[in-house]
């Protein structure tokens, strides 16, 4: 398997599918829809929806069945980024090298675009459940995972805002990331596995994998925020330290953070080693650890 | 039927039920949960959940079945108010005589509390569908109505922000209100009727009723914003005109707005006249038109 090739294939599929859900009819709220499209199509890595597909494909081939969940997940991730960037939270002007939603449009639009993306995600899944009668119970279970993931993501985000600029215990730092970044990643692999009818043991194994790559993702983010290339990242570097933000690098130092990243990634890889066809998930763990943006 | 008595009975039931869903365990996001409780319990009139109950009770007695939807609806309404009050949208300091969420807590908390209430609403319905197996299809249809209502409510809210301080055509003004205030009111009666297994004709009749009381609600709000008692309302009066906000009173004048309110209310009452037990819905239409806050 050529990992890069497969990743591009999957994320291209997600992008093409996302476009089908873009509303571009003439209506009084046209600009709101444009702002949702702007952030949805701002070049995200599509890690979460890719994880839904990859987790499903460990067990089954007909990945079309999980596409609505993949799309919903990316909408929810985008909603969380738009709100995270708001002046009332992180007050960021750029993301992925582009103006943030509230800078490109305005604050009211960004608040409502985020709200609407979260709602749209639910709306499309509900319509899928109603219109495609089969697998209703599996879909409801997967939807429950999605909803729980969002709840935890918001909790993590809240803890992040509450402790900005304050000393934070390693217990709280972990709780924050486990939820803020980890919850949707965990929900993604669980949704894929649940939809594929995986056994409870397999779901738990994949959950552990997700837990590890979620943490790896955050540690790597913190490392890049400190020593990454601001051009590649599309956002300024060194902001976290200036803001007194508590991250893995500001708390443990760069060297220790890099060691952590390495061992966490190894744990993730070993968790999925028992599955056939787990090459993609293994490579994905390495990709997260080695990325430059 | 003593209307006031029945209204108090229903809204008390909603309040008691809402309390069951308040999270007050010790956890890092405790303050976020407190802020959600603060706004949920800030003394709303509970019109939307009451409408779900009343619409259901036109056809059936076992109202417990629609309680999860009633609770979810009030959470969603509260989410919309919290975000509406934010500095980036209406920038209001008071609502119902109490500090708005972002004034009592802070902006980040208010954004996330709103997000979390919207998500919580879906979460509780999904859990209800999974845990109480019966009426799955009706519940999914009702959930679709809820989701569509939220989509339309956000669209209306957006149009409101886009046209603040600008001249607005009567067509746009109507579109805005039909969605911003009307969509959740319409969704409420439809959810009640769908859950009760009402016929399509009955659902349409109730939808027209909801459309009329939604409009009446808005016209009355605009009238109160102009000539109400700021103490009773719990917020300043005359703000709309100062802000150049386009409302029914600033656009048509007070007298015409009052005439409109009267005839819209009559239309609402006549729409439900064919139902037995429609006294409560008729009185509710009058209550909306005659309220002082």
Closest CB to B127: pick one of A31, A129, A144: A144
Q: Which residues pair with A95 in a beta bridge?
A: A98
**Which chain B residues are closer than 8 Å to A141 by Cβ?**
130
* Alpha carbons B253 and A57: distance in angstroms, whole number: 63
DSSP letters spanning A210-251: HHHHHHHHHHHHHHHHHHS-HHHHTS-SSHHHHTT---HHHH
Interface test with B, best of A119, A138, A153, A155 (most B CBs within 10 A): A119
Q: What pTM value is reported for the model?
A: 0.94
* Alpha carbons B78 and B117: distance in angstroms, whole number: 8
Place of tokens 């649940």: A194
For residue A173, what are the CA distances in angstroms to A47, A170, B231?
23, 5, 45
More confident residue, B269 or A251: B269
**Which chain B residues are closer than 8 Å to A176 by Cβ?**
28
* Alpha carbons B111 and B98: distance in angstroms, whole number: 18
Lowest mean pLDDT, pick from A132-136, A227-231, A248-252: A227-231
- The reply to whether residue B27 touches residue A130, judged by beta carbons under 8 angstroms, is no
Tell me the pLDDT band of A30, cut-offs 50, 70 and 90: very high
Q: What is the pLDDT of residue B242?
A: 67
Q: What are phi and psi of B286, to 5 degrees?
A: -65, -40
Residue A123 distance to chain B (closest CA, Å): 6
**Which chain B residues are closer than 8 Å to A89 by Cβ?**
107-108, 111-112
If one counts the domains in chain B, the total is 1
Tokens at residue B179, please? 């969605």
Place of tokens 């597909």: A53
**Residue of B13, B19, B77, B76 whose CA lies nearest to B50:** B13
Mean pLDDT, residues A228-251 taken together = 75
* Alpha carbons A164 and B94: distance in angstroms, whole number: 27
Contact criterion met (CB below 8 Å) for A14 and A48: no
User: Which residues in B147-171 are b (16+ Cβ under 10 Å) and which e?
Assistant: bbbbbbbbbbbbbbbbbbeeebeee
Q: What is the pLDDT of residue B143?
A: 98
| Strand ranges (E), chain B | 94-95, 98-99
Contact criterion met (CB below 8 Å) for B187 and B73: yes
Q: What is the pLDDT of residue B91?
A: 94
CA B216, chain centre distance (Å): 13
Mean pLDDT, residues A207-231 taken together = 90
Closest CB to B162: pick one of A31, A79, A114: A31
Tell me the pLDDT band of A167, cut-offs 50, 70 and 90: confident
Tell whether the model's pLDDT for residue A207 goes beyond 90: yes
Q: What is the pLDDT of residue A238?
A: 73
- The reply to whether residue B140 touches residue A127, judged by beta carbons under 8 angstroms, is no
Which tens digit of pLDDT belongs to each residue from A48-104? Answer: 999 999 999 999 999 999 999 999 999 999 999 999 999 999 999 999 889 999 999
Contact criterion met (CB below 8 Å) for B49 and B71: yes
- List the single residue in A with minimal CA-CA distance to B155: A29
Percent of chain A with pLDDT over 90: 80
**Which chain B residues are closer than 8 Å to A143 by Cβ?**
126
Residue B2 distance to chain A (closest CA, Å): 38
Interface test with B, best of A147, A149, A179 (most B CBs within 10 A): A147
Residue B103: how many CA atoms within 13 Å on its side-chain side?
A: 12
Closest CB to A144: pick one of B126, B158, B175: B126
**Residue of B283, B66, B9, B280 whose CA lies nearest to B193:** B66
For residue B192, what are the CA distances in angstroms to A71, A98, B56, B58, B185?
30, 45, 4, 9, 11
Q: What is the pLDDT of residue A236?
A: 72
Mean pLDDT, chain B cut into blocks of 10 residues (293 residues total): 94 96 93 98 94 97 96 98 97 92 98 98 98 93 98 96 82 91 97 98 97 93 85 72 76 92 97 94 95 85
Instruction: Name residues whose C-beta falls within 8 Å of residue A25's C-beta, 6 or more positions apart in sequence.
Output: none
Count of C-beta atoms within a 10 Å radius of residue B241? 13
- The reply to whether residue A111 touches residue B83, judged by beta carbons under 8 angstroms, is yes
Q: Is A95 helix (H, G, I), strand (E, B) or coil?
A: strand
In which region does residue A27 sit, left (phi positive, over 0), alpha (psi from -120 to 50) or beta (all else)? beta
Residue range of the domain that includes B72? 3-290
Tell whether the model's pLDDT for residue A230 goes beyond 90: no
Count of C-beta atoms within a 10 Å radius of residue B277? 12
CATH number at residue A167: 1.10.600.10
Q: What is the pLDDT of residue B76?
A: 98
Tell whether the model's pLDDT for residue A234 goes beyond 80: no
- List the single residue in B with minimal CA-CA distance to A180: B29
* Alpha carbons B238 and B227: distance in angstroms, whole number: 7
Residue B117 distance to chain A (closest CA, Å): 9
Q: What is the pLDDT of residue A270?
A: 97
* Alpha carbons B246 and B261: distance in angstroms, whole number: 17
């Amino acid at each position: 398997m050529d990992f890069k090739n497969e990743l591009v294939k999957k994320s291209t599929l997600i992008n093409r599918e996302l476009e089908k859900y873009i509303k571009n009819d003439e209506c009084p709220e046209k600009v709101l829809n444009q702002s949702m499209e702007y952030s949805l199509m701002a070049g995200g890595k599509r890690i979460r929806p890719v994880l839904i597909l990859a987790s499903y494909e460990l067990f089954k081939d007909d990945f079309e069945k999980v596409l609505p969940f993949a799309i919903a997940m990316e909408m929810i991730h985008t909603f969380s980024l738009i709100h995270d960037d708001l002046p009332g939270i992180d007050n960021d002007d750029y993301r992925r090298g582009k103006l943030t939603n509230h800078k490109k449009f305005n604050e009211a639009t960004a608040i409502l675009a985020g709200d609407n993306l979260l709602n749209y995600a639910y709306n499309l899944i509900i319509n899928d459940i109603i219109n495609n009668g089969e697998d209703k119970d599996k879909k409801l279970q997967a939807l429950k995972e999605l909803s729980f993931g969002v709840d935890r993501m918001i909790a993590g985000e809240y803890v992040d805002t509450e402790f900005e600029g304050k000393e934070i215990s390693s217990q709280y730092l972990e709780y924050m990331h486990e939820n803020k970044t980890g919850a949707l990643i965990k929900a993604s692999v669980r949704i894929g596995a649940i939809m594929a009818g995986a056994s409870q043991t397999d779901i738990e194994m994949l959950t552990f994998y997700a837990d590890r790559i979620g943490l790896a993702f955050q540690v790597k983010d913190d490392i890049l925020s400190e020593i990454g290339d601001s051009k590649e990242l599309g956002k300024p570097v060194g902001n976290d330290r200036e803001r007194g933000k508590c991250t893995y690098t500001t708390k443990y130092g760069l060297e220790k953070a890099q060691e952590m990243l390495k061992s966490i990634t190894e744990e993730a890889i070993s968790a999925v080693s028992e599955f056939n066809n787990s090459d993609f998930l293994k490579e994905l763990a390495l990709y997260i650890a080695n990325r430059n943006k």
